[in-house]
Chains A and B, each alone.
Chain A
Amino acid sequence: MEYKTVLTTCTHCGCGCSFYLEVLDGDVIGTIPCKTSPVNEGKLCIKGWNVHQFIQSDKRLKRPLLRKDGVLTEVSWDEAMDFTASRLREIKETSGSDSLAFFTSAKVTNEENYLLQKFARAAVGTNSVDHCARL
């Protein structure tokens, strides 16, 4: 048996509570609130206590999907990524940069938000980047 705890930040609201994810043999089995966090001081709400439960849900997407004959079908990463990159490029070339638009996300990390807006602006050439801050 291998047990470890990993200090991280909750994903269920904007408070930013710190907790340790408990990992047993590769499975996330619980959360332990961080006592030294200036935000939550060793406490969590019901959403924080249970946040580990969705992580390894059976319903998680495990492989890329591509619509073939109207149906989303599992494909390799190479096929999904080549399709996406080439379609984005075609649309840019035929209809212009501003015919592409990007939703970044209030749920992913800062680094990922940075990269997607950089991709939209530097690679595609559009400032049409927004997310659900208003929702």
Chain B
Amino acid sequence: MTNSIAELEDADCIFVIGSNTTSSHPLVATRIFRAKQKGAKLIVADPRTIQIATMADIHVRQNLGTDVALLNGIMHVILDRRWHDQDFIDKNTEGFEEIRELLKGYPPEKVSEITGIPADNIVRIAEYYGKAEKASIVYCMGITQHTTGVDNVKSLANLAMLTGNLGRESTGVNPLRGQNNVQGACDMGGLPNVYPAYQPVNMIDIQKKFETAWNARLSDKVGLTVPEMLSGAMDGSVKALYVLGENPMQSDPDSSHVEKALKNVDLLVVQDIFLTPTAQLAHVVLPGTSFAEKDGTFSNTERRVMRVRQAIDPVGDSRPDWKIIQDLSTRFGYEMNYDSPAAIMDEIAALTPSYGGINYDRLEGEGIQWPCPTTDHPGTKFLHKDKIARGKGLFHAIEYRPPAETVDDEYPLWLSTGRVFAHYHTGTMTRNCPTLNSEISEGFLEINPVDADRMGIHQGDEVRMASRRGEITARTVVTDRVKEGSLFMPFHFIESNVNLLTNPAFDPIAKIPELKVCAVRIEKAA
């Protein structure tokens, strides 16, 4: 997030797009409720009538994968009505003329045809967002899990810059991170192209810095992303996969392909706390510990580094994951002997400029939001203050592109996936919480009443659903939460694993798969 969770409640306008906030980030939703109570306008753009949509001043249901068109349409109106912030644009941005030209091609009437949203509603969104003094954008995987994921995010940045909603309190472009420590995993260099703090692996002075610090020769070749690792496993170029606390058998698109890939490697090591579907395929399973059995830190969605503290001894003969990795490394021939996670954090701080001022003593209390370059720096509540980080904010003129797979006669229905309030990701933890699992204990398929009637399907019927990649069965929930012609299914439930159907096509830059859009057909199970 460019800004902080608490700032949301003082925004004049909040634009939620592609985030089922009340289900997936309930304590962020609380701030949005408060903002609403204080008089903020709430805009929700989501194909489904999610809970927060029912509280919105305006809710629009865009066709799946049409976000760029919608955002360009909103910006067209803002420019047309002169609700943009020319002063901010002149001082802080570049590329404005190119996007101004592009946006001429997105009048509300044309955007309405692409998105299925009435033109008047596009104008209303532009008015609420464009006229607000402090407007915040909140988004999640509904924006990113598309073959146009990067285009979608850049379009949101365009909208914020066009209206000067950046670098000030209660504004900004605010992605809600899906996993508890996905921010930290990225910050720590859990990415194939960067060391900690996003320092590129192919920059010679950065490489030298890490070679000295780690006393090792390092590669300047950018590594593989998860989808590339899996295709490498299929074609034999990747021979060993080490999986720490992840469950690609259920979280990745096209599960049959994932299974073939995982079975094709010479060595699959899985380090986890439960015998997940991925661990069941492993050659070796190393039992790590949960967050309650070790010390450490997580970095939340607002860049706040926070302490995790050991409350109980490791369960059974399991071991804290940092001890397992360090033991493995030493046996492998590269010695590691940290005496505690605090010592690891000291090394992180020395090599990671944005974490430079962070140590365990300073993390007592509320935690610290990075960037925190020095030990006397208080941390950073919101980014781009006074000056945009890259110098000038760059507008990207982006044309709308349809999703990779669209409906046809053979697969006539749209399918999207997501989460429910009681569960988290592949359910490894939440489905082992009896209270949560009793709230919702099986997967279900949401279908619009019109479609259900047409096919003679009733609430609770079992249906077979197929895409070009696989077939599953699921019980139906007949509801107008989904639009006619569209279906929705959560991915938490391995017994009806919707990722057998989803499309592995991915964004060319971010390599994020298009989990939010694929084409399917359904029929009543016999």
Contacts and interface: CB of A to CB of B under 8 A. Distances in A.
Contacts of B229: 101, 103, 128, 130
Nearest to B251: A135
A56 B315 contact: yes
A122 B344 CA distance: 15
Interface stretch (B117-125, B162-170, B326-334, B447-455): B326-334
Nearest to B201: A127
Contact of B184 (A55, A82, A109, A120): A109
B234 to A, nearest CB: 12
A131 B224 CA distance: 11
B237 interface: yes
A62 B216 contact: no
Interface residues of A, number: 100
B239 A95 contact: yes
Nearest to B327: A81
Contacts, number: 447
A135 B28 CA distance: 20
Interface string A83-97: 111111101000101
* Residue among A64, A82, A124, A129 having the largest count of chain B Cβ atoms under 10 Å: A129
Contacts of A53: 432-436
B515 A135 contact: yes
A56 B292 CA distance: 10
Q: DSSP majority for the A interface?
A: mixed
Given A8-B291, A13-B24, A130-B229, A98 B422 contact: no
Interface stretch (B47-55, B187-195, B394-402): B187-195
Contact of B190 (A50, A64, A131): A131
B27 A54 contact: no
Contacts of A36: 366
B217 A112 contact: no
A50 B145 contact: no
B336 A103 contact: no
Interface residues of B, number: 143
B196 A101 contact: no
B345 A110 contact: yes
Interface in A24-56: 26-28, 36-40, 43-47, 49-56
Interface of A: 4, 6-18, 21, 23, 26-28, 36-40, 43-47, 49-57, 59-67, 72, 77, 80-89, 91, 95, 97-135
29 contacts: A7-B307, A7-B309, A14-B181, A15-B25, A36-B366, A39-B5, A39-B304, A43-B27, A45-B421, A46-B436, A47-B436, A50-B436, A55-B292, A62-B315, A67-B282, A72-B275, A81-B286, A81-B327, A99-B237, A101-B240, A108-B245, A108-B296, A112-B321, A115-B322, A115-B344, A118-B329, A119-B334, A124-B332, A130-B229
Interface of B: 4-6, 24-28, 30, 144-145, 176-193, 195-196, 201, 210, 214-219, 221-226, 229, 232-233, 237-246, 248, 251-252, 266-267, 269, 272-275, 279-280, 282-288, 290-294, 296-302, 304-313, 315-319, 321-322, 324-329, 331-334, 336, 338, 341, 344-345, 347-348, 366-367, 421-424, 429-430, 432-436, 439, 506, 510-513, 515
